[in-house]
Amino acid sequence: MTIIAAVRFVLLLCAAWLTSPSLAAPVADQIWSGGFVLTMDDTQPRVEAIAVKDGRILALGSRQDLKQYRSDKTIMHDLAGRTLLPGFVDAHGHAFMIGVQAISANLLSAPDGEVTDVVSLQSTLKNWSSEHADMQKNIGLILGFGYDDAQLANQQHPTRDDLDAVSTDMPVLIIHQSGHIGVMNSKALEQAGITDDTPDPDGGVIRRRPNSQQPNGVLEEAAFFTALAKRFSGMTAGQGEALFEAGTKLLAQYGYTTGQEGRANALIVPFMQSAAAAGRIPIDVVAYIDVMEDRDFITKNTSQTYINGFRVAGAKLTIDGSPQGFTAYRDRPYYDSPEGYRADYHGYTAVTSDQVFTAIDWAFANDTQIITHANGEAASDLLLAAIKTARAKHPPKDRRAVLIHGQFLRKDQVATMDELEIFPSLFPMHTFYWGDWHRDRTVGPENADNISPTGWVRERGMMFSSHHDAPVAFPNSMRVLSATVTRRTRSGDILGPGQRVDVDTALKAMTLWPAYQHFEETEKGSLQPNKLADFVILSQDPTAIDPETLDQLEVLETIKKGKTIYRQGDAPGTAKPASSNH
């Protein structure tokens, strides 16, 4: 063999070795390019293209870099100038109850509905009743969701009399936008067994007619939750599964690839599990079970592993109520309480102090993640004291206790949260919906600027998540993003300029940081090789537009493990599979 022939032979061997199946670059199932890809990964914030194989991210980089993963079998997606980023992770919402929102009469005010006063509320309920006769028969009542006394012309709750004008034969139930207050007509009160002689339950109030013990139809907190539980206790498995499915599909419509049911119980968990097992939910859902109900059930069901897209992640504690409904537990009186309240009224707790300390201690002793609803300053004081006590008693461990909402947090409380390693899941979306109300009624102009204090949290370098708490409002991800960045109220006021954050930070609070909150940061929340191919495609790059127009961005497509589960143009609330080709 000549030297030249030998060299050729060696080169051929090298070529065969380099192109052997075991060493060739893997072939991508799909590649997205032609737009903007925001990764939420500080080491590589923006790339031109991203490749997926078997539902996971294979590689990302320049279009040239990703050519090595392409074959004639690879589906190529042209973003056409649109923006792809990680699928949104629901930091706090109620996926099951969103289903209730999806099937009920829409009593929201603008921009999400058209109710402005009691007359339009009544008209909406009557129209729903006539247009949804089968639904009304199926659930046995006329159901409405989302009214807000702060947005009604008289700024008062409707009463049983107002709902009796809708129907006296059929029970009527409407749910306040906060989800913490409801109103029943006379028929519904009768079926719930609520009479003049019914006492107020612990942690709740049955509002009465003036100078009378007769209920006026408005039920607060525990009084409402108890009546609601009675109402839905006879729900069939089919009804429960359908509600859960509807809720998850609505979440997918807004770009969420992971949802949360933030206050579940042993009644609805089987419905969610069976819906998941039947393949009816398009997204992952993580659930937290009410710690005041069945702790053995929590212990037996908690898992870090999803089964058919569903898992129980831990426990939920609720200390107080809603700030806009004047039921949050404050450390000072409300600025301008409703008529008939004492001047020193500062809200109340849903549980006792002993129950708070016992629940937190149980969670720490059992290494169970616990998320806690605390809105008022006094409620947060209780939580911080309980966690400090539990940390001193139990061995150190990464438990990631979460404070949910914390809307009236003081700056010293933020510092204590940092010290105690409490993760804040905040609610700046509130600044849009109730910012004017908080400024004028609940806390007053001096304290309103610091509601949902994301600025104070970032001053300390803390992560936080930003949530929607649906069905308190629609799970509109772009409204969440806009409110976190701009803090614009309905009237156009800026509530707390110093608490605003930039767009990149707000996006992390909807992706990577809530993934961390759920112990899922290695799987979700940023675009990196081997992570799940959970994506959302937006109409424009949110980092490159006027922040004042963020709420005008559109979710065009939602992708879960590489498969399209929602595409704009599908019927509202659906998330049917779509073709992969664009």
At residue 573, the pLDDT reads 41
| 405 to 17, 262, 426, 428, 570: CA distances (angstroms) | 58, 12, 5, 9, 32
Find where tokens 């339950």 sit: 201
At residue 8, the pLDDT reads 52
Q: Which residues of 441-475 are buried (b: 16+ CB within 10 A; e: fewer)?
A: bbbeeebbbbbbbbbbbbeeebbbbbbbbbbbbbb
At residue 92, the pLDDT reads 98
> Could you give the domains of the chain?
115-232 (3.10.310.70), 319-501 (3.20.20.140)
Please spell the DSSP secondary structure of 166-183, one letter per residue: T-SSS-EEEEETTSSEEE
Nearest Cα residue to 559 out of 568, 550, 551? 568
DSSP 329: -
- Could you tell me the end-to-end alpha-carbon distance of the chain, in angstroms, rounded to an integer? 55
Nearest Cα residue to 259 out of 134, 99, 400, 136? 99
**Model confidence over 7-21: pLDDT tens digits?**
454 444 444 444 443
Three-state SS for 413?
A: helix
DSSP 442: I
234 CB-side CA count, 13 A:
7
Is the CB of residue 226 less than 8 Å from the CB of residue 204?
A: yes
Per-residue pLDDT of the chain (582 residues; tens, 9 = 90+): 455 454 454 444 444 444 443 457 899 999 999 999 999 999 999 999 999 999 999 999 999 999 999 999 999 999 999 999 999 999 999 999 888 887 889 998 888 889 999 999 999 999 999 998 877 877 788 999 889 888 899 989 999 999 999 999 999 999 888 778 899 999 999 988 999 999 999 888 999 999 899 999 999 988 988 887 777 766 788 888 988 999 999 999 999 999 999 999 998 999 999 999 999 999 999 999 999 999 999 999 999 999 999 999 999 999 999 998 899 999 999 999 888 889 999 999 999 999 999 999 999 999 999 999 999 999 999 999 999 999 999 999 999 999 999 999 999 999 999 999 999 999 999 999 999 999 999 999 999 999 999 999 999 999 999 999 998 878 999 999 999 999 999 999 999 999 999 999 999 999 999 999 999 999 999 999 999 999 999 999 999 999 999 999 999 999 999 999 999 986 444 333 333 333
At residue 569, the pLDDT reads 86
Q: Residue 3: which H helix or E strand, with range?
A: helix 3-18
Q: Token digits for 37?
A: 């890809």
Nearest Cα residue to 73 out of 31, 34, 24, 29? 29
Three-state SS for 302?
A: strand
Helix spans in 328-465 (H): 353-365, 377-393, 411-420, 430-437, 445-448, 454-459
CA dist., res. 288 & res. 264, Å (int): 6
Q: Which amino acid is at 381?
A: D
Work out the angle between the directed axes of helices 377-393 and 411-420 (0-180°, nearest 10).
20
At residue 2, the pLDDT reads 54
- The alpha carbon of residue 355 and the mean position of all alpha carbons in its chain are separated, in whole angstroms, by 26
Give Cβ neighbours of residue 30 (< 8 Å, ≥ 6 apart).
Answer: 51, 52, 74, 75, 76, 77, 562, 580
Nearest Cα residue to 431 out of 382, 500, 343, 508? 500
DSSP 198: P
User: Could you give phi then psi for residue 207, rounded to 5 degrees?
Assistant: -70, 145
Nearest Cα residue to 464 out of 480, 475, 442? 480
Q: Residue 425: which H helix or E strand, with range?
A: strand 423-426
CA dist., res. 179 & res. 411, Å (int): 27
CA dist., res. 119 & res. 361, Å (int): 49
At residue 405, the pLDDT reads 97
CA dist., res. 86 & res. 436, Å (int): 33
CA dist., res. 134 & res. 140, Å (int): 10
Helix spans in 71-132 (H): 95-103, 118-131
- Cα dihedral angle (48, 51, 52, 58), rounded to 10 degrees? -110
- The alpha carbon of residue 444 and the mean position of all alpha carbons in its chain are separated, in whole angstroms, by 27
**Model confidence over 425-440: pLDDT tens digits?**
999 999 999 999 999 9
Give Cβ neighbours of residue 5 (< 8 Å, ≥ 6 apart).
Answer: none
Is the CB of residue 251 less than 8 Å from the CB of residue 95?
A: yes
Sheet containing 172-176: order of strands: 105-106, 142-147, 172-176, 181-184, 215-220, 204-208
421 CB-side CA count, 13 A:
10
Q: Token digits for 239?
A: 């009804």
Is the CB of residue 314 less than 8 Å from the CB of residue 288?
A: yes
